[in-house]
Amino acid sequence: MKTIVSFFGEKTGVFEKLNARAEEYAAGLGFSYRWTPQTPFNQAEVTGILSAADAGIIDVEPYGEAIFSKIHDSCKLLVRFGVGFDKVDLKAASRHGIAIARTTGANTLGVAEMAFSLILAARRSVKRFDKAVAECDWGKVVVDETIQSVIGIAGFGAIGKAVAKLFSGWDCELIAYDPYPDQKAMQALGVKPVSLEELFQRADAITLHIPYTPETHHIVGEKLLGLMKKSAVIVNTARGNIIDENALALALKENRIHGAGLDVFGEEPLPASSPLIGLPNIVLTPHVSSQTEQSLWRIYKMAIDIAADFFAGKGSPHILNPDYKAAP
């Protein structure tokens, strides 16, 4: 019987329930399943466990030569719990014949809902008003509705499409930027393709769903932020380093834009010295967009399904380094 080990999650009631369900689901597919949460991450322990397992479900920590060189005789597959894989050395994994996969799309609804929520919270100045009540300051401040506004979606993949669907009943004008636009989906959802610059100029609310690459590092900086309307807000549930946080903090501090909502940051946990902390016009959440019970289960299930297909010799679009097969 093949063994799958999972390192994701914390020793709480929710994760205990999810992993018990995962163990039962894996058993139904003929796998042994073991959960060993890594909080904090212990590379030596992880390496030892993987060296006796067939597959692993991993979190955001770095995985490279030091681990792969010691586990490759046994472990042939690692599945990233989520979509980001920038800390996994794909070339090193391929050299050792280890396939790396990710659970693309499993957290789509959870992340889209968080982006939707952050847009509303930022547009309606919820943080500022919450503080006002606590301070007994009932002075009225007028803000803008999101209904009938222009929603700009940067990155029109699965999550971007889900955001468009969430706004479909709000009588909003939907515009989107994507370097490889899905014209059919855009047309079906009533979304107009635009350039990134036009999106920042026209949108009342911008939500980021583009991948993090060297080309997108700090792509949202002083230039693009300077194109935004003073009444507009920007939301990021993708990757922190897509935004130049110093430039964003300055734009917010000087009230050059109305607000922002961030669930991801260039450094996590966000340092107490960050210029973003304490600003009245930004909503900050600790990278929890996919932390719903429903999204988490979809990710667990998908990771196990990927492993089942892998060991059954089936191809998978979720494998990131197909050249792993060329390893000696």
Task: Classify residue 203 as left (phi > 0), alpha (psi -120 to 50) or beta.
Answer: beta
Give me the catalytic one of 95, 239, 298, 318: 239
Catalytic residue among 10, 65, 145, 268: 268
Phi-psi region of 154 (alpha: psi -120 to 50; beta: other; left: phi over 0): beta
b (16+ CB within 10 A) / e for 162-188: bbbebbeeeebbbbbbbeeebeebbee
What b/e sequence results for 224-244 when a residue is b if at least 16 CB atoms lie within 10 Å of its CB, and e otherwise? bbeebbeebbbbbbbbbbbbb
- Say which of 34, 124, 128, 287 is annotated catalytic: 287
Active site residue 23: no
Residues 295 and 106 sit within 8 Å (Cβ to Cβ)? yes
Which one, of 85, 110, 112, 113, lies nearest residue 98 by Cα?
85
Pairwise CA distance, residues 303 & 213, whole Å: 24
Q: What's 270's DSSP letter?
A: P
Q: Are 267 and 243 in contact (CB under 8 A)?
A: no
Q: How far apart are CA 24 and CA 215, in angstroms?
A: 42
Cα separation, 293 vs 95, in Å, equals 36
Whether 287 sits among the annotated catalytic residues: the reply is yes
Pairing of strands 205-208, 191-193: unpaired
Active site annotation includes 145? no
Three-point CA angle 65, 209, 253, nearest 5°: 105
- What is the rounded end-to-end Cα distance, in angstroms, of the chain? 25
**DSSP 8-state assignment for residue 263:** S
Q: What positions carry a catalytic annotation?
A: 239, 268, 287
